[in-house]
Chains A and B, each alone.
Chain A
Amino acid sequence: LAAASADEEAVTARVRADLASVGVRAAARPVAGLLDQARAHVARVALERDLGDEVAALGLPRVDLAALAEGVEQGGIAVLAGELAEQGLR
């Protein structure tokens, strides 16, 4: 996705062509929107990675838990507990 920030026009044209090939008619604006979303996502992931590096620099054992879109109710806690156990936390 980092390539998405390369050559704006060429990328837009390619994405539009790809979309058209599967029957999605998209004007330039929604395509620009998709690319904006991708850029935001890249920024987010980069931030997470940087902060992850800071944590790693502490040299402590670390486990990662996935974000729970629906919150901790309806089994969310059990999901997290399962992840902890899978990542070796006993």
Chain B
Amino acid sequence: MTTPRGRASSAPGPVDVERLLADPGTGILVCCGAGGVGKTTTAAALALRAAESGRRVVVLTIDPARRLAQSLGLTELDNTPRPVPGVGAESGGSLDAMMLDMKRTFDEVVLAHSTPEKAEQILANPFYQVVSSSFAGTQEYMAMEKLGQLRAEAERDGSWDLVVVDTPPSRSALDFLDAPKRLGSFLDGRFIRLLMGPARAGGRAGLRVFSFGANLAATTMSRVLGTQLLTDVQTFVAALDTMFGGFRERADVTYALLQDPTTSFVVVATPERDAMREAAYFVERLTSERMPLAGVVVNRVQTLAAPALTAARAAAAAEQLDEVAASARTERRTRGRRASDRGASPDVADSPRQTAALLRLHADLAAAAARHEGHVRRFAAGHPGIPMSTVPAAPTDIHDLDGLRTVAGALGG
């Protein structure tokens, strides 16, 4: 490759998916964007396309829609990549898919970073059980962690040459990037220090004053929270603290991996203001963090099957046809229930009304199409040089391999 990814010429056009996926230098693809924009579908489509062009791919999905999961052979949430049957046989590629199990991934990290007794203590801790399954940012962190693991596995035994990751359905697309730091600062934070005070400072003379303050805080908190919970929290944090280095270190390694030239980000959006704004933040953030951006994918863009007919023209014609239909009805009524009239097919009599409905639908779609195009254009104008692909809105949800192939085809422009 002669030009660095993400810095194409002034009129970059669509994301060069073909080149991106064929490039052996692409080792990790991260699909990110706001919640509900089709990240999982995009990740699956890219992974499938790569597998069918000869790559050995593993795709990490997070919370896929049920039918999509089934089509990828993901029937259980077991954190294990499994082959998607019948993919890539002709090209020599392969596709494995997995669903992230956040809790299990957290457990694995704990097991890997502490002694067996300590691990057991942590895993049994009620506070840990809550944090590992619901703490804000845990899912993002665990997705990062899993990405690191898959990558390490791929390098160790050469099972995959491309890892495609979906990112959690966060409120903000940036959460994924911030997860390692956030977990770090949580463990490093004042609240935790305060809790740690009595558990850790006990017996150290120099810290007696602090310890007194911390004890006071702890006493107050135990009154509010209940002694058992506080004890659980303290035990948990004390245990976690011993692996803190491990956590932070791994987070740093994963973060560095994201800056690696073999990594490419695909920012996913829908042609709506909020999603496009998230995409813009993400693009800017990736640039400032020097993370390689392959381009932006805009999903669910309304396209028209009769583009020449404008919304206004269609709406006006629909109104006229409604008048025709109304006067035809009146006429039928005034002519009464003559026998000859009964023979007429109701379909034909209803024709103007139905055609009006077609036109009205077209007017709505044309308005949506214009709005979508406006969002895409504004984004492109605000972010020159960034490749951008649009995927037409499908009438129903994408839930099988053929649907994913169609999406992948559209991605390539």
What are the residues of chain B within 8 A of A1 when measuring CB–CB? 354, 357-358
What are the residues of chain B within 8 A of A80 when measuring CB–CB? none
Known: A18-B355, A34-B359, A37-B362. A24 touches B396 (CB 8 A): no
What are the residues of chain A within 8 A of B354 when measuring CB–CB? 1, 3-4, 15
B348–A69 touching, CB < 8 Å: no
A18–B351 touching, CB < 8 Å: yes
What are the residues of chain B within 8 A of A26 when measuring CB–CB? 306, 309
Minimum Cβ distance to chain A for residue B90 (Å): 31
Q: Among the listed stretches A38-46, A57-65, A82-90, which one makes contact with chain B, having 4 or more residues with CB under 8 Å of it?
A: A38-46
Among residues 1 to 53 in chain A, which have CB atoms less than 8 Å away from a CB atom of chain B? Answer: 1, 3-4, 6, 14-15, 17-19, 21-24, 26, 29-41, 43-44, 47
Contact of B304 among A29, A37, A44, A70 (CB under 8 A): A37
Report if A72 contacts B (CB, 8 A): yes
Known: A43-B395, A72-B274. A24 touches B358 (CB 8 A): no
Known: A3-B354, A14-B355, A44-B396. A22 touches B321 (CB 8 A): yes
A33–B395 touching, CB < 8 Å: no
Report if B397 contacts A (CB, 8 A): yes
B308–A15 touching, CB < 8 Å: no
B351–A41 touching, CB < 8 Å: no
Q: A1 — nearest CB in chain B belongs to which residue?
A: B357
What are the residues of chain A within 8 A of B358 when measuring CB–CB? 1, 4, 15, 34-35, 37-38
Q: Is the interface of B mostly helix, strand, loop or mixed?
A: helix
Assembled-state Cα–Cα distance A71/B272 (Å): 7
Among residues 375 to 400 in chain B, which have CB atoms less than 8 Å away from a CB atom of chain A? Answer: 395-397
The contact size tier of chain B is: 20 to 34
B351–A14 touching, CB < 8 Å: yes
A32–B305 touching, CB < 8 Å: yes
Assembled-state Cα–Cα distance A33/B352 (Å): 17
Assembled-state Cα–Cα distance A30/B351 (Å): 17
A22–B317 touching, CB < 8 Å: yes
Report if B273 contacts A (CB, 8 A): yes
Assembled-state Cα–Cα distance A47/B396 (Å): 7
B355–A30 touching, CB < 8 Å: no
Minimum Cβ distance to chain B for residue A40 (Å): 4
A24–B309 touching, CB < 8 Å: yes
Contact of B305 among A14, A18, A22, A33 (CB under 8 A): A33
What are the residues of chain B within 8 A of A3 when measuring CB–CB? 347, 354
Contact of B324 among A15, A21, A39 (CB under 8 A): A21
B396–A22 touching, CB < 8 Å: no
Instruction: Give A residues with C-beta under 8 Å from B.
Output: 1, 3-4, 6, 14-15, 17-19, 21-24, 26, 29-41, 43-44, 47, 69-73
Instruction: Give B residues with C-beta under 8 Å from A.
Output: 272-274, 304-309, 313, 317, 320-321, 324, 347-348, 351-352, 354-355, 357-359, 361-362, 365, 367-368, 371, 395-397
